[in-house]
Amino acid sequence: MIELEGVGRSFTVRRRTGRLLRREKAVVHAVRDLSFSVAPGEFVGYLGPNGAGKSTTIKMMTGILTPTEGRLRVAGLDPSRRRTVLARRIGVVFGQRTTLWWDLPLRDSFELVRHLYKVDRNTFRQRLDELTELLELTSFLHTPVRQLSLGQRMRGDIAAALLHAPPVLVLDEPTIGLDVVSKAALRAFLSELNAERGTTVLLTTHDLGDVERLCNRVMVIDQGRLSFDGTVEDLRATAPDESSIEDVVARLYTGGGTAAAEPAQQLGSSVAQ
Ligand SMILES: Nc1ncnc2c1ncn2[C@@H]1O[C@H](COP(=O)(O)OP(=O)(O)OP(=O)(O)O)[C@@H](O)[C@H]1O
Protein backbone atom coordinates (compact mmCIF):
# COMPACT_ATOMS: atom_id res chain seq x y z
CA MET A 1 0.00 0.00 0.00
CA ILE A 2 2.91 2.32 0.79
CA GLU A 3 6.37 1.65 -0.67
CA LEU A 4 9.55 3.65 -0.28
CA GLU A 5 12.86 2.71 -1.87
CA GLY A 6 15.91 4.78 -1.01
CA VAL A 7 13.80 7.90 -0.56
CA GLY A 8 15.59 11.11 0.39
CA ARG A 9 14.57 14.72 0.69
CA SER A 10 16.95 17.60 1.23
CA PHE A 11 16.45 21.34 1.52
CA THR A 12 18.86 24.10 0.73
CA VAL A 13 18.91 26.67 3.50
CA ARG A 14 20.93 29.82 4.16
CA ARG A 15 22.80 29.90 7.43
CA ARG A 16 24.90 32.51 9.16
CA THR A 17 28.64 32.22 8.99
CA GLY A 18 30.92 33.60 11.71
CA ARG A 19 31.36 36.81 9.71
CA LEU A 20 28.89 39.64 10.14
CA LEU A 21 25.95 39.60 7.68
CA ARG A 22 27.48 36.75 5.67
CA ARG A 23 25.29 33.79 4.92
CA GLU A 24 26.22 30.63 3.09
CA LYS A 25 24.14 27.96 1.49
CA ALA A 26 23.81 24.70 3.38
CA VAL A 27 21.88 21.50 2.82
CA VAL A 28 19.60 19.84 5.35
CA HIS A 29 18.92 16.17 4.72
CA ALA A 30 15.47 15.94 6.26
CA VAL A 31 15.07 12.32 5.09
CA ARG A 32 17.85 10.00 3.90
CA ASP A 33 17.77 6.64 2.14
CA LEU A 34 14.43 5.61 3.55
CA SER A 35 13.13 2.19 2.48
CA PHE A 36 10.08 0.40 3.87
CA SER A 37 6.73 -0.93 2.79
CA VAL A 38 3.39 -0.94 4.56
CA ALA A 39 0.94 -3.70 3.66
CA PRO A 40 -2.83 -3.19 3.34
CA GLY A 41 -4.54 -3.23 6.74
CA GLU A 42 -1.46 -2.40 8.83
CA PHE A 43 -1.67 0.20 11.58
CA VAL A 44 1.77 1.78 11.77
CA GLY A 45 3.15 4.26 14.29
CA TYR A 46 5.78 6.51 12.75
CA LEU A 47 7.85 7.94 15.59
CA GLY A 48 10.86 10.17 15.95
CA PRO A 49 12.16 13.12 17.94
CA ASN A 50 11.38 16.70 16.89
CA GLY A 51 12.90 17.45 13.51
CA ALA A 52 13.57 13.76 12.70
CA GLY A 53 11.80 13.86 9.32
CA LYS A 54 8.30 12.54 10.05
CA SER A 55 6.32 15.41 8.53
CA THR A 56 8.66 15.52 5.54
CA THR A 57 7.95 11.81 4.93
CA ILE A 58 4.21 12.40 5.16
CA LYS A 59 4.40 15.39 2.84
CA MET A 60 6.18 13.19 0.27
CA MET A 61 3.60 10.42 0.69
CA THR A 62 0.79 12.86 0.00
CA GLY A 63 2.50 14.59 -2.93
CA ILE A 64 3.00 17.94 -1.17
CA LEU A 65 6.78 17.49 -1.46
CA THR A 66 8.73 15.69 -4.18
CA PRO A 67 11.57 13.40 -3.05
CA THR A 68 15.03 14.48 -4.15
CA GLU A 69 16.08 10.81 -4.27
CA GLY A 70 14.50 7.39 -4.53
CA ARG A 71 11.16 5.96 -5.45
CA LEU A 72 7.86 6.24 -3.61
CA ARG A 73 4.45 4.65 -4.26
CA VAL A 74 1.21 5.09 -2.33
CA ALA A 75 -1.84 3.05 -3.37
CA GLY A 76 0.07 2.22 -6.56
CA LEU A 77 0.72 5.86 -7.50
CA ASP A 78 3.69 8.22 -7.53
CA PRO A 79 2.32 10.90 -5.16
CA SER A 80 4.07 13.93 -6.63
CA ARG A 81 3.05 13.08 -10.22
CA ARG A 82 -0.46 11.79 -9.55
CA ARG A 83 -1.49 13.98 -6.65
CA THR A 84 -5.08 14.53 -7.79
CA VAL A 85 -5.78 10.85 -8.42
CA LEU A 86 -4.02 9.92 -5.20
CA ALA A 87 -6.23 12.34 -3.25
CA ARG A 88 -9.16 10.00 -3.96
CA ARG A 89 -7.30 7.02 -2.48
CA ILE A 90 -5.84 8.62 0.62
CA GLY A 91 -7.16 10.55 3.61
CA VAL A 92 -4.79 12.96 5.38
CA VAL A 93 -5.19 14.73 8.70
CA PHE A 94 -2.67 17.21 10.10
CA GLY A 95 -3.38 17.62 13.81
CA GLN A 96 -1.89 21.10 13.91
CA ARG A 97 -3.84 22.41 10.94
CA THR A 98 -7.40 22.07 9.73
CA THR A 99 -8.41 21.33 6.16
CA LEU A 100 -11.94 22.49 6.90
CA TRP A 101 -13.37 25.86 5.86
CA TRP A 102 -12.98 28.11 8.88
CA ASP A 103 -16.11 30.24 8.41
CA LEU A 104 -18.47 27.53 7.24
CA PRO A 105 -20.59 25.23 9.37
CA LEU A 106 -19.02 21.77 9.56
CA ARG A 107 -21.84 20.26 7.50
CA ASP A 108 -21.13 22.72 4.64
CA SER A 109 -17.43 21.88 4.73
CA PHE A 110 -18.39 18.22 4.28
CA GLU A 111 -20.58 19.18 1.32
CA LEU A 112 -17.59 20.91 -0.31
CA VAL A 113 -15.47 17.81 0.34
CA ARG A 114 -18.20 15.76 -1.37
CA HIS A 115 -17.88 17.95 -4.48
CA LEU A 116 -14.08 17.85 -4.43
CA TYR A 117 -13.99 14.06 -4.29
CA LYS A 118 -17.03 13.63 -6.52
CA VAL A 119 -18.86 11.41 -4.04
CA ASP A 120 -22.44 10.77 -5.19
CA ARG A 121 -25.19 12.20 -3.00
CA ASN A 122 -26.57 8.90 -1.64
CA THR A 123 -23.21 7.42 -0.77
CA PHE A 124 -22.24 10.72 0.86
CA ARG A 125 -25.40 10.82 2.99
CA GLN A 126 -24.88 7.24 4.11
CA ARG A 127 -21.19 7.79 4.99
CA LEU A 128 -21.89 11.06 6.72
CA ASP A 129 -24.64 9.47 8.86
CA GLU A 130 -22.25 6.71 9.83
CA LEU A 131 -19.33 9.05 10.62
CA THR A 132 -21.65 11.43 12.49
CA GLU A 133 -22.70 8.58 14.74
CA LEU A 134 -19.24 7.05 15.22
CA LEU A 135 -17.48 10.37 15.83
CA GLU A 136 -20.45 11.91 17.68
CA LEU A 137 -20.70 14.99 15.49
CA THR A 138 -24.46 15.66 15.81
CA SER A 139 -24.35 18.48 18.37
CA PHE A 140 -21.96 20.66 16.34
CA LEU A 141 -22.65 19.67 12.74
CA HIS A 142 -24.13 23.12 12.06
CA THR A 143 -21.53 25.12 14.01
CA PRO A 144 -18.93 27.18 12.08
CA VAL A 145 -15.55 25.45 12.22
CA ARG A 146 -13.87 28.45 13.90
CA GLN A 147 -16.21 28.00 16.91
CA LEU A 148 -15.37 24.32 17.44
CA SER A 149 -13.19 23.10 20.28
CA LEU A 150 -9.95 21.35 19.35
CA GLY A 151 -11.44 17.89 19.95
CA GLN A 152 -14.58 18.69 17.94
CA ARG A 153 -12.51 20.15 15.11
CA MET A 154 -10.28 17.07 15.05
CA ARG A 155 -13.31 14.77 14.79
CA GLY A 156 -14.58 16.97 11.97
CA ASP A 157 -11.24 16.79 10.17
CA ILE A 158 -11.14 13.01 10.49
CA ALA A 159 -14.68 12.69 9.16
CA ALA A 160 -13.76 14.96 6.21
CA ALA A 161 -10.72 12.78 5.46
CA LEU A 162 -12.88 9.64 5.40
CA LEU A 163 -15.93 10.82 3.44
CA HIS A 164 -14.50 9.41 0.22
CA ALA A 165 -13.70 6.08 1.98
CA PRO A 166 -9.96 6.04 1.21
CA PRO A 167 -8.09 2.74 1.72
CA VAL A 168 -5.18 4.65 3.32
CA LEU A 169 -5.35 7.15 6.16
CA VAL A 170 -2.32 9.22 7.15
CA LEU A 171 -2.51 11.06 10.46
CA ASP A 172 0.06 13.60 11.60
CA GLU A 173 -0.28 14.01 15.39
CA PRO A 174 -4.08 13.56 15.50
CA THR A 175 -4.31 13.44 19.31
CA ILE A 176 -2.22 16.55 20.00
CA GLY A 177 -3.89 18.72 22.63
CA LEU A 178 -6.87 16.39 23.16
CA ASP A 179 -8.14 15.64 26.67
CA VAL A 180 -8.09 12.04 27.91
CA VAL A 181 -11.75 11.41 27.08
CA SER A 182 -11.53 12.79 23.52
CA LYS A 183 -8.28 10.90 23.02
CA ALA A 184 -9.83 7.60 24.13
CA ALA A 185 -12.86 8.13 21.86
CA LEU A 186 -10.66 8.93 18.88
CA ARG A 187 -8.44 5.92 19.51
CA ALA A 188 -11.50 3.65 19.73
CA PHE A 189 -12.76 5.03 16.42
CA LEU A 190 -9.41 4.57 14.63
CA SER A 191 -9.03 1.08 16.00
CA GLU A 192 -12.47 0.11 14.72
CA LEU A 193 -11.83 1.73 11.35
CA ASN A 194 -8.70 -0.36 10.94
CA ALA A 195 -10.20 -3.61 12.25
CA GLU A 196 -13.61 -3.43 10.56
CA ARG A 197 -12.81 -1.68 7.30
CA GLY A 198 -9.21 -2.79 6.88
CA THR A 199 -8.14 0.82 6.36
CA THR A 200 -4.33 1.09 6.33
CA VAL A 201 -3.27 3.72 8.85
CA LEU A 202 0.05 5.50 9.27
CA LEU A 203 0.21 7.70 12.34
CA THR A 204 2.84 10.09 13.63
CA THR A 205 2.59 10.96 17.29
CA HIS A 206 4.61 11.98 20.32
CA ASP A 207 1.98 10.29 22.51
CA LEU A 208 3.18 6.75 23.11
CA GLY A 209 -0.24 5.82 24.49
CA ASP A 210 -1.47 6.08 20.87
CA VAL A 211 1.21 3.63 19.84
CA GLU A 212 0.59 1.13 22.63
CA ARG A 213 -3.16 1.11 22.10
CA LEU A 214 -3.32 1.26 18.32
CA CYS A 215 -0.26 0.19 16.40
CA ASN A 216 0.71 -3.31 15.37
CA ARG A 217 3.95 -1.96 13.95
CA VAL A 218 6.27 0.87 14.94
CA MET A 219 8.89 2.64 12.86
CA VAL A 220 11.32 5.10 14.37
CA ILE A 221 13.06 7.73 12.29
CA ASP A 222 15.99 9.70 13.66
CA GLN A 223 18.04 12.31 11.82
CA GLY A 224 16.18 11.35 8.66
CA ARG A 225 17.04 7.65 8.81
CA LEU A 226 15.00 4.66 9.86
CA SER A 227 16.42 3.43 13.16
CA PHE A 228 13.80 0.87 14.21
CA ASP A 229 11.05 -1.17 12.54
CA GLY A 230 9.12 -3.81 14.47
CA THR A 231 6.21 -4.56 16.79
CA VAL A 232 5.56 -2.79 20.11
CA GLU A 233 6.92 -5.93 21.81
CA ASP A 234 10.10 -5.73 19.70
CA LEU A 235 10.35 -2.09 20.70
CA ARG A 236 10.13 -2.93 24.40
CA ALA A 237 12.72 -5.67 23.92
CA THR A 238 15.29 -3.05 22.81
CA ALA A 239 15.45 -1.88 26.45
CA PRO A 240 14.02 -4.66 28.68
CA ASP A 241 15.22 -2.96 31.87
CA GLU A 242 13.08 0.12 31.19
CA SER A 243 9.58 -0.05 32.64
CA SER A 244 7.84 2.67 30.63
CA ILE A 245 7.53 2.82 26.87
CA GLU A 246 8.54 6.52 27.04
CA ASP A 247 11.92 5.50 28.48
CA VAL A 248 12.33 2.74 25.89
CA VAL A 249 11.72 5.20 23.06
CA ALA A 250 13.88 7.90 24.65
CA ARG A 251 16.79 5.44 24.55
CA LEU A 252 16.25 4.93 20.84
CA TYR A 253 16.32 8.65 20.11
CA THR A 254 19.87 9.86 19.77
CA GLY A 255 19.07 13.15 21.43
CA GLY A 256 19.11 15.27 18.30
CA GLY A 257 16.56 14.21 15.73
CA THR A 258 17.29 17.06 13.37
CA ALA A 259 19.80 16.49 10.61
CA ALA A 260 22.70 18.92 10.75
CA ALA A 261 23.07 21.31 7.83
CA GLU A 262 26.12 20.68 5.66
CA PRO A 263 27.78 23.26 3.39
CA ALA A 264 26.11 23.03 -0.02
CA GLN A 265 29.30 22.82 -2.10
CA GLN A 266 30.31 19.48 -0.53
CA LEU A 267 27.20 17.82 -1.80
CA GLY A 268 25.98 16.48 -5.09
CA SER A 269 23.64 18.20 -7.49
CA SER A 270 20.40 16.49 -6.45
CA VAL A 271 19.50 19.13 -3.93
CA ALA A 272 16.16 20.88 -3.89
CA GLN A 273 16.08 24.66 -3.86
N1 LIG B 1 10.86 23.60 3.98
C2 LIG B 1 11.95 23.33 4.70
N3 LIG B 1 13.08 24.03 4.51
C4 LIG B 1 14.20 23.74 5.21
N5 LIG B 1 14.30 22.78 6.12
C6 LIG B 1 13.20 22.05 6.37
C7 LIG B 1 11.97 22.27 5.67
N8 LIG B 1 11.05 21.38 6.12
C9 LIG B 1 11.67 20.64 7.05
N10 LIG B 1 12.95 21.03 7.20
C11 LIG B 1 13.95 20.46 8.11
O12 LIG B 1 13.94 19.05 7.94
C13 LIG B 1 14.11 18.38 9.17
C14 LIG B 1 12.93 17.45 9.41
O15 LIG B 1 11.74 18.22 9.63
P16 LIG B 1 10.29 17.55 9.84
O17 LIG B 1 9.30 18.65 9.93
O18 LIG B 1 10.09 16.51 8.81
O19 LIG B 1 10.49 16.87 11.27
P20 LIG B 1 9.42 16.14 12.21
O21 LIG B 1 9.98 14.80 12.53
O22 LIG B 1 8.07 16.18 11.60
O23 LIG B 1 9.48 17.06 13.51
P24 LIG B 1 8.36 17.43 14.64
O25 LIG B 1 8.18 16.21 15.49
O26 LIG B 1 9.05 18.52 15.39
O27 LIG B 1 7.12 17.88 13.93
C28 LIG B 1 14.27 19.49 10.22
O29 LIG B 1 15.65 19.72 10.38
C30 LIG B 1 13.61 20.69 9.57
O31 LIG B 1 14.17 21.89 10.04
The ipTM of this complex is 0.96
For 144, phi then psi, to 5°, come to -60, 145
Asked if residue 260 is part of any domain, the answer here is no
The model's pTM: 0.85
* CATH, residue 167: 3.40.50.300
How high is the pLDDT of residue 268? 36
Helices (H), 136-175: 150-162
* Residue 95 predicted with pLDDT over 90: no
Which residues fall within 8 angstroms of residue 75, CB to CB, at 6 or more apart?
1, 2, 86, 89, 90, 167, 168
Asked if residue 267 is part of any domain, the answer here is no
Asked if residue 262 is part of any domain, the answer here is no
CA of 35 to the centre of ligand 1 (A): 19
Q: What average pLDDT does the segment 202-229 reach?
A: 92
C-alpha atoms less than 13 angstroms from C-alpha of 251 in its C-beta half-sphere: 13
More confident residue, 176 or 147: 147
* Residue 262 predicted with pLDDT over 80: no
Give the residue from 85, 56, 84, 82 showing the smallest Cα distance to 69: 56
How high is the pLDDT of residue 271? 34
User: What is the domain extent for residue 120?
Assistant: 2-15+26-254
Q: Give the mutation target among 50, 55, 226, 252 for probing the ligand 1 site: most ligand atoms within 8 A of CB.
A: 55
* Residue 154 predicted with pLDDT over 80: yes
Say how far apart CA 197 and CA 192 lie, in whole Å.
8
Asked if residue 269 is part of any domain, the answer here is no
**How many domains are there within the chain?**
1
Asked if residue 265 is part of any domain, the answer here is no
